[in-house]
Amino acid sequence: MIESIGVVCAFAVVRKMTASPSSAVGLLSSVEEEEEADNSSGSTCRSSSSSASLRLGLLADIQYAPIDDGFSYGGTPRYYRHALDAAERASLDLESQGNIDAVLNLGDTIDGQCVNHDPLSCLQRVLSVLTDNYVSGPIHHTYGNHELYSMDRSTLFPQIHSHDNEQDVGYYSTILNKQWKLIVLDSYDISLLKQSKDKRDLAHEILSENNPNYKLGMENSPEGLEGLERRFVAFGGGIDTPQLNWLRQTLEEARNDGQYVLIMSHQPIMPESSHPVCLVWNYQDVMDILDDYSDIVAMHLSGHAHSGGYGRSDNGIHYRVMEAILESPPPICTYGILNIINSNKSIQIQGFGNCKSATYSLDHLRQQPLQTDDNHNDNDATNSHPLIL
């Protein structure tokens, strides 16, 4: 297991916990404004209401499994059963807010250990906890390596994808409100994990060319690799050309329709936001496309690197890695609420548990007419003036 600059990727096999549990709040680097997470009591999962044009719940790396607590390879405690309780309490709080438009689940909903404990039942248990308690809007899911350790895509997709998807692919887009679109990327499009033969062959070629350990049977080891080359490990993945083309087309449609965009995937994309071992293999291909649409792309959200992280591109796009639910000891539950604030042209992430709070300026987005949303009113702005810039 690799640990550096406070970032841990989610692929480790469990080690039984024998030491006293400890909790370390992940570091969040290069944030314009940062506040402490709402964890004053050590147990609260409550939050305060905020005036915003769009409010989203954020969950990352629940990684529930019906097993005893353990550790990552790097020694970080993991609380597998508590993760289910934390997800339940977070979804209850999001529902109690009364004005959360949707919830974004950034993947690794279950842990790979579920492969020995009826993985479909484990997944359905978590999904039921989420959907039974948060009922005010949709829950948009992506998936990570741990779901793919446990089940085939043909089993997984019908459980987590409610959108129409004739091609049975892991990427899609959806409308959040009149002015905001969500694009969900499949960062395991090219992967060894439960993928078609053509995709597995491409992943085999990429790993063979870039990681000498792969041919030696150490497919998940980055040892001997330097810098960003350490991303070429088998628990990672990449985004194939058809999905890249779809991404560009979807962004072009959003621009033509006068929409702003949030992007999400399980794996981080920007190097400054994460340890290299967690990155999408062809992250630069994705960033190049997003940079071409930096006038409408506000933020990319991901999980996978459990301690969280942050970076901002030269063109202004924010890249936020959300902290993992799995590594918060009882009674803490870790999650976030994303607020898009019209009056000060910003995204505010309100963090709970080990999730860091921060405010991100949207000064890079182009000015567009504000489209009326009957569900929200910004106390500092009227519906007749521009939303941003």
Report if residue 370 sits inside a domain: no
Predicted confidence (pLDDT) at residue 312 exceeds the cutoff of 60: yes
> Residue 146 and residue 63: Cα distance in Å, rounded?
8
Report if residue 2 sits inside a domain: no
Report if residue 386 sits inside a domain: no
Pairing of strands 139-141, 102-105: parallel
pLDDT tens, position by position, 1-45:
333 333 456 554 443 433 333 322 232 333 444 444 444 333 344
Counted domains in the chain: 1
Count of other CB atoms within 10 angstroms of residue 227: 8
Q: How does the average pLDDT of the chain come out, rounded?
A: 85
Q: How confident is the model at residue 49 (pLDDT cuts 50, 70, 90)?
A: very low
Report if residue 374 sits inside a domain: no
Report if residue 39 sits inside a domain: no
Exposed/middle/buried for residue 26 (C-beta within 10 Å: 0-12, 13-18, 19+): buried
* Domain that residue 283 falls in: 52-361
pLDDT tens, position by position, 80-137:
999 999 999 999 999 999 999 999 999 999 999 999 999 999 999 999 999 999 999 9
Pairing of strands 309-312, 7-8: unpaired
Report if residue 368 sits inside a domain: no
Q: What would the two tokens of residue 104 be?
A: 């974004």
Report if residue 242 sits inside a domain: yes
Range 248-266 burial, b when 16+ CB lie within 10 A, else e = eebbeebbeeebbbbbbbb
Are residues 363 and 155 in contact, defined by beta-carbon separation less than 8 angstroms?
no
CA atoms within 13 A on the CB side of 225: 24
> Residue 151 and residue 132: Cα distance in Å, rounded?
23
> Residue 190 and residue 206: Cα distance in Å, rounded?
9
Q: What angle, rounded to 10 degrees, do the helices at 153-160 and 119-133 form? A: 10
Q: What are phi and psi of 57, to 5 degrees?
A: -80, 145
> Residue 354 and residue 343: Cα distance in Å, rounded?
28
CATH of the domain at 116: 3.60.21.10
> Residue 302 and residue 187: Cα distance in Å, rounded?
10
Report if residue 141 sits inside a domain: yes
pLDDT tens, position by position, 262-297:
999 999 999 999 999 999 999 999 999 999 999 999
